[in-house]
Structure 1
Amino acid sequence: MTDPVSDTVFRSPNDLLGAVPYLLGYHPVTEIVAVYLGADQQILGVAAEPLRTSAETLTEHLAIRAPADGCTEVALIGYGPPPTRSTLAGIARILDLFLPLHAVLLVAGTRCVCLLDGCTCPASRGVDVDPANTRVATQLTVEGMVALPSRHALQTLVAPDLVAQAETEAALAVLPQDLAVAGLLDDVLAHANQGRRLTTGQLAPLAVALTGRDAQEAAWRAACACMWQRDLWLDVTRRVPHRYITGPATLAAWCAWRRNEHALATVALRHAIRDGPGDKLTRLVTSVVRTRLPAQRLRRPTTH
């Protein structure tokens, strides 16, 4: 994934390592991370790949994710045990043909070593690091960004709940043909705002309603950056059958983006459009998330 933080600037290895978990949305463990830098060492975006394939394949994936505009350098970080060093060095050699390397860091536990040829920074001799205790980490926390414990924890937020999906499927099978949805969204939002999880009886008609443009747009207009709305639409995304996922996953992405949870928004959108480009609202939310702007800088339109 590639997620931007437009006002973050890399000044030192500690700053860079402090920013990465917030840029990704989780703390990497055994992964290769590329941080794309622009003018004045501004962080334009970040991408990560698990250490499961060859250096050549990893390099290809990271190279194509570089921002098209303004990217002047890339910093590579390998997270993992000492054998990660050879993979990281191989990626660096190839990627350097496409983008100048600003740093090549190997992080094992609390120890960081810079592998960039000719580098004289303190990390070239190895330094102890505490990414959580940095200026950038503090800045991003204050801005409301979240770093979950792992990639798995991030993906779990939108992963299908197979048991709940089966329960919803059973409830859908007994819905009346002339289902009335007037007032349904208001009732659902009021219920969720009180901290209560939707029942299957509420979820089934909501899934049907969200296949329609009017209900989607009404839910989109009512969406905010509140945690309860973010949790509501993530829960609905996990519990509805696959054919109903586009609407709630799009709303979950919109709420996550409005909370500056860019990584979560990207993962939710991936579910919303995994079988196609999605509907008009999904395409709009996708375009907004990809603007690389923080939510507070966008004046929300009144219609899509």
Structure 2
Amino acid sequence: MNSTERPRLAVRSPADLVAAVPYLLGFHPADSVVVVAVRGRRVVFAARGDLPDPGADPGPAARHLAEVVARQGTDAATVIGYGPAARVTGAVDAVGEALDGAGLLVLDALRVTDGRWWSYLCAEPACCPPEGTPYDPAASAVSAAAVFAGQVALPDRAALAAQVSPLGGPVRVAMRRATVRAHRRLAGLAGTAAGPTGEAAGRAGEAAGPAEEPAGRAGEAVGAGPMDARALRSAGLAAVRTAFRRHRRGERLGDDEVAWLTVLLTHLPVRDHAWSRTDGRDADIGLWTDVLRRAEPELIAAPGSLLAFAAWRAGHGALAAVALERVLGTHPGYSLAVLLDDALRRGLSPSELDGWPATAGRAVLRPRRRRPRR
């Protein structure tokens, strides 16, 4: 199944909804507040935030979460808190009030912990006993349907972040050497004398400025004239085409191919060409995940942003978020990552970027000052 074709899960009870949430998010939440929003009778959006620290005001985060949900054009929502009552109750109440203020109907408000769920809105002991209602996700028909459809629920968010973490050991040693060779190859293509070694060249590019545009111009400036720029673009487009073609055939790129691609992606025309060919297909997510994990740290900005874009287009917002966290942790000013991060925080639909980067979509998203992700 193509990852853009989201399977429908039949949710008929609070227990079904609790079982479905990990598959909507991609991982089992903990110490979290989750809003599952519906339009008509169909779940169309799920958003998660961390529970506030003890003693902290839950209002600002709750209002932001409600604004994101309301932006989806939804009719109603259910709020679910994961954790002990002392931390969950205030957060769930604040989100419920914020949703009411945004004009959304709150269908239910639940708390989940230790294999049981409680409803804040149901006072009938027959259906909502005070000791909570036990549930077994493994025995749920919803979980079985999700697994059958190929959906995955990882144990926690850390397991999701591990899917985009750098590979170490012999892989890292091999990639470091391959990246040195790629920088030398680029220097030869650009008609220069021996250039800096891989890591030094990467740092030199970063030193040009915090955003990707200055770094890209610094890379292009290696050449001596327009012919060199055309040669770089031609080499970049060929590398991108080869990467997509081979990966979609189920072949894994070699170390030198990955290194060459990551070096060329520092040039904006090459990065934008790769962006224009990236969609929400499983093959695209797999390609950019592999390249991101094998890339040298100074070269992760472009592949990490492209992975985030592919994941977002496929509806995997959590995967997009952890990819962006890795990019922005190392390259906080990389503007494509900043724009995508802002889109996720604002709850914009992936359709807002239809046609990017060829269209004038940059008017849709404007960078804002980044807030810490909760």
> Is the pair's TM-score, using the shorter chain for normalization, greater than 0.5?
yes
Structure 2 CA distance for aligned equivalents of residues 228 and 72 of structure 1: 34
Task: String of CA shifts for 1:135-188, please: whole Å, max 9, x gaps.
Answer: 766776788754323212211111233555564344333432134635222333
3-state DSSP of counterpart to 1:123: coil
Amino acid at match of 2:292: T
Task: String of CA shifts for 1:92-114, please: whole Å, max 9, x gaps.
Answer: 45545544565342323432222
Structure 2 CA distance for aligned equivalents of residues 292 and 130 of structure 1: 33
Structure 2 CA distance for aligned equivalents of residues 57 and 97 of structure 1: 14
Determine the structure 2 residue equivalent to 1:113: 118
Distance verdict in 2 for CA 1:35–1:301, change over 3 Å: same
3-state DSSP of counterpart to 1:26: coil
Following superposition of structure 1 onto structure 2, how do residues 24-63 of structure 1 map, counting pairs within 5 Å? Answer: 24-28=25-29, 30-35=30-35, 37=37, 43=43, 44-49=45-50, 53-54=53-54, 56=56, 60-63=60-63
In terms of fraction of residues, the more helix-rich structure is 2
Structure 2 CA distance for aligned equivalents of residues 33 and 121 of structure 1: 26
Amino acid at match of 1:23: L
Conserved? CA contact 1:185–1:219, under 8 Å: yes
Structure 2 CA distance for aligned equivalents of residues 88 and 270 of structure 1: 26
Amino acid at match of 2:180: A
Of residues 149, 168, 188, the one that matches 1:178 is 188
Length-normalised TM-score, structure 1 = 0.73
Task: String of CA shifts for 1:112-149, please: whole Å, max 9, x gaps.
Answer: 22244746782344323344666766776788754323
Determine the structure 2 residue equivalent to 1:91: 91
Structure 2 CA distance for aligned equivalents of residues 145 and 298 of structure 1: 25
Amino acid at match of 1:112: W
Task: String of CA shifts for 1:242-300, please: whole Å, max 9, x gaps.
Answer: 33222111221233234332321232233344502524x9737964994335x7x9865
Determine the structure 1 residue equivalent to 2:272: 217
Distance verdict in 2 for CA 1:225–1:72, change over 3 Å: closer
2:348 is equivalent to residue 291 of structure 1? yes
Structure 1 CA distance for aligned equivalents of residues 239 and 39 of structure 2: 50
Deviation at 1:237, TM superposition (A): 1.2
2:149 is equivalent to residue 149 of structure 1? no
Percent of pairs identical after alignment? Answer: 27
Structure 1 CA distance for aligned equivalents of residues 159 and 32 of structure 2: 18
Distance verdict in 2 for CA 1:187–1:96, change over 3 Å: closer
Please tell me whether Structure 1 or Structure 2 has the larger radius of gyration of its CA atoms: 2
Of residues 121, 127, 139, the one that matches 1:122 is 127
Length-normalised TM-score, structure 2 = 0.62
2:321 is equivalent to residue 278 of structure 1? no
- Structure 1 unmatched ranges of 5 or more: none
Conserved? CA contact 1:76–1:92, under 8 Å: yes
- Structure 2 unmatched ranges of 5 or more: 1-5, 101-105, 190-231, 360-374
Deviation at 1:207, TM superposition (A): 0.9
Structure 2 CA distance for aligned equivalents of residues 165 and 264 of structure 1: 23
Determine the structure 2 residue equivalent to 1:260: 315
Distance verdict in 2 for CA 1:154–1:9, change over 3 Å: same
Conserved? CA contact 2:309–2:340, under 8 Å: no
Amino acid at match of 2:288: W
Conserved? CA contact 2:27–2:153, under 8 Å: yes
Amino acid at match of 1:192: H
2:198 is equivalent to residue 192 of structure 1? no
Conserved? CA contact 2:122–2:128, under 8 Å: no
2:79 is equivalent to residue 23 of structure 1? no
Structure 1 CA distance for aligned equivalents of residues 144 and 27 of structure 2: 15
Distance verdict in 2 for CA 1:299–1:283, change over 3 Å: closer
Structure 2 CA distance for aligned equivalents of residues 39 and 195 of structure 1: 38
Structure 1 CA distance for aligned equivalents of residues 274 and 341 of structure 2: 13
Determine the structure 2 residue equivalent to 1:79: 82
